[in-house]
Amino acid sequence: MNQYASYAISAIQMAIFALIFAGDAICGAMKVPKPSFLSSLQENRMMAIMSIWLVGNMLSAQLLNTGAFASWPFSRHFTHLLLVTGSY
């Protein structure tokens, strides 16, 4: 389920990137006026792309996180060994 949500986030990212780069052509082909938020995204392309990429990848990574490193079966023994030997 989370994997499909991650794919959806990636698809939304790519759609927004396409709107940023080709929004004028897309709106012109559909014969609709260009929305004001698209104009502001196109004015600040680098900032918009970096923000969308960062937030989208953070959400995807959180959805795909398995927690595999948090559930080590010998964690008490390993922690005790580190405390006793003093080697970190």
Domains contained in the chain, number: 1
pTM for this model (two decimals): 0.67
Give CA–CA dist 87/73, Å, rounded.
20
Domain extent, residue 68, equals: 2-85
**What pLDDT digit, counting tens, does each position of 8-42 carry?**
999 999 999 999 999 889 889 999 998 888 889 89
Q: Return the DSSP state at 72.
A: -
- Asked whether 27 and 33 are in contact (CB, 8 A), the reply is yes
DSSP of 27-77: HHHHT-PPPHHHHHHHHTHHHHHHHHHHHHHHHHHHHH---TTT--TTHHH
**What pLDDT digit, counting tens, does each position of 35-44 carry?**
888 889 899 9
